[in-house]
Amino acid sequence: MAQGYVKTIDLPQVIPVFPLPGAILLPRGQLPLNIFEPRYLNMVDDAMAGDRIIGMIQPTAGSRGLPSLSPVGCAGRITSFAETSDGRYLVTLTGCARFRLASELPTQTPYRQIRADFTPFEADLGAPDADGAALDRDNLLEALGAYLETRGLDIDWDTAEGAPPEALINSLSMALPFEAPEKQALLEAVSLNDRAAVLTALMRIDAADNSDGEPQSMQ
């Protein structure tokens, strides 16, 4: 159960959104954010005074100041908050449930707000996806190894091999530096096994593309 929410009706239907390219949040995943723009400092202040819910969503086409928004995002609850001496906020969002963007609302706030339809993703509020029991972990880790090798990277393999399926798949989906459309495909994957299949394919394609070039970094 995500943060005490049992049904989608328990979640706020109007939420602020933080459009951030290349960043996705997944249910029960944790996303650290460094907030410094005044409008998003304002957003965090308002969220902290309310239900602590913020929607992460990727921008698409349009102007930099007011880009179009992807059709699907994920709502998260602020579960960690700290303020730095220079006025930045360091927050952690823990994913609650994905949503479909129903409409964007006119608002007087400096940040954007939407009406979120959580109904298609009610399963996100349940226990971790049972499909994970059928995960082909060896295939996934083999693809991960090839991906990391071509980029000159390494991870704690003991942790990766022992992690629960959902935690492994979602943390990799959120952390690896794929392009925005690829991130969106991972976000919108219906089930955990679907996401694992997309993730495995993306890592294998990336490894094949980079196998003849110089190792890359995740910076």
For the chain, the structural domain boundaries read 8-125, 130-210
Q: What is the pTM of this model?
A: 0.89
Q: pLDDT per residue over 155-185, tens digit each?
A: 899 999 999 999 999 999 999 999 999 999 9
Strands 30-35 and 89-105: antiparallel
> Quick one: pLDDT at residue 64?
66
∠ CA(28), CA(29), CA(31), 5° rounding?
A: 135
Average pLDDT, the chain: 90
Query: What is the C-alpha separation between 95 and 181, in angstroms, rounded?
Result: 20
- Looking at residue 27, its pLDDT comes to 95
What are 95-139's pLDDT values in tens digits? 999 999 999 999 999 999 999 999 999 999 987 765 555 788 899
What kind of fold does domain 8-125 have according to CATH? 2.30.130
